């Protein structure tokens, strides 16, 4: 049960917090952060994000052409691993006290979207895909209110990194409304 033993914070309190801790924030998804994409390509085996290694051949240094890059998994230490797209959602969230940004990884995003990421991306190719087009299943998240268990990390207050990492979500209506009453 995610709510027990974790203090609740409003977004204004989250932003002002100056210590490492976890808290519960009840807030509404206002948007997907523009330009941040909504998934990343991961290694199917270890689920870590893959890297793009530039071509070793210099000469015509066409470094912008990512399609010429080799895909590498630093964990499995292999080139061209089998790929699986997984969600990495950058959400703009708000409550009555302000707005903030949350990053949400695959297994948690699934709780909200109810479809595996690959169902929305379609078959993966090695080509870099344009992520500006937000699928309807993700656009439908906008306006939804959930409970998020958020990690306040040192980089958030020490370096003013304004995106917070979510490590649990409750989408359960009853819990949310109960929470709302307590607020």
* Contacts with Zn ion, residue ranges (CB under 5 A): 43, 45-46, 73, 75-76
Would you say 46 or 153 has its CB closer to Zn ion?
46
Q: How far is the CB of 111 from Zn ion (least distance, A)?
A: 24
- How many Å apart are CA 24 and CA 19, to the nearest integer? 15
Do residues 128 and 160 make contact, with C-beta atoms less than 8 angstroms apart?
Answer: no
The tokens describing 82, both together, are 């089998």
Q: How far is the CB of 44 from Zn ion (least distance, A)?
A: 8
Would you say 52 or 157 has its CB closer to Zn ion?
52
The tokens describing 22, both together, are 């976890």
Would you say 42 or 100 has its CB closer to Zn ion?
42
Would you say 2 or 46 has its CB closer to Zn ion?
46
Chain centre distance of CA 49: 13
- How many Å apart are CA 173 and CA 157, to the nearest integer? 32
- How many Å apart are CA 140 and CA 32, to the nearest integer? 11
Q: How far is the CB of 81 from Zn ion (least distance, A)?
A: 5
Tell me which residue has its CB nearest to Zn ion: 43
Which residues, 6 or more positions from 83, have their beta carbon under 8 angstroms from its beta carbon? 41, 42, 43, 44, 50, 71, 124, 126
Q: How far is the CB of 105 from Zn ion (least distance, A)?
A: 16
- How many Å apart are CA 63 and CA 102, to the nearest integer? 31
Would you say 53 or 62 has its CB closer to Zn ion?
53
Q: How far is the CB of 70 from Zn ion (least distance, A)?
A: 14
């Amino acid at each position: 049960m995610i709510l027990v033993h974790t203090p609740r914070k409003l977004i204004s309190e989250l932003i002002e917090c100056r210590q490492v801790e976890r808290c519960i924030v009840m807030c509404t998804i206002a948007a997907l952060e523009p330009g941040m994409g909504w998934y990343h390509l991961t290694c199917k085996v270890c689920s870590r994000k893959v890297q793009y290694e530039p071509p070793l051949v210099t000469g015509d240094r066409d470094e912008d052409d990512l399609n010429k890059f080799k895909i590498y998994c630093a964990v499995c230490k292999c080139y061209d691993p089998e790929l699986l797209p997984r969600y990495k959602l950058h959400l703009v969230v708000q409550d009555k006290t302000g707005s903030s940004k949350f990053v949400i990884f695959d297994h948690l995003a699934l709780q909200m979207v109810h479809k595996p990421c690959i169902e929305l991306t379609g078959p993966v190719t090695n080509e870099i895909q344009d992520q500006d087009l937000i699928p309807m299943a993700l656009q439908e998240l906008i306006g939804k209110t959930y409970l998020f268990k958020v990690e306040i990390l040192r980089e958030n207050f020490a370096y003013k990194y304004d995106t917070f990492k979510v490590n649990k979500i409750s989408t359960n209506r009853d819990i949310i409304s109960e929470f709302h009453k307590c607020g």
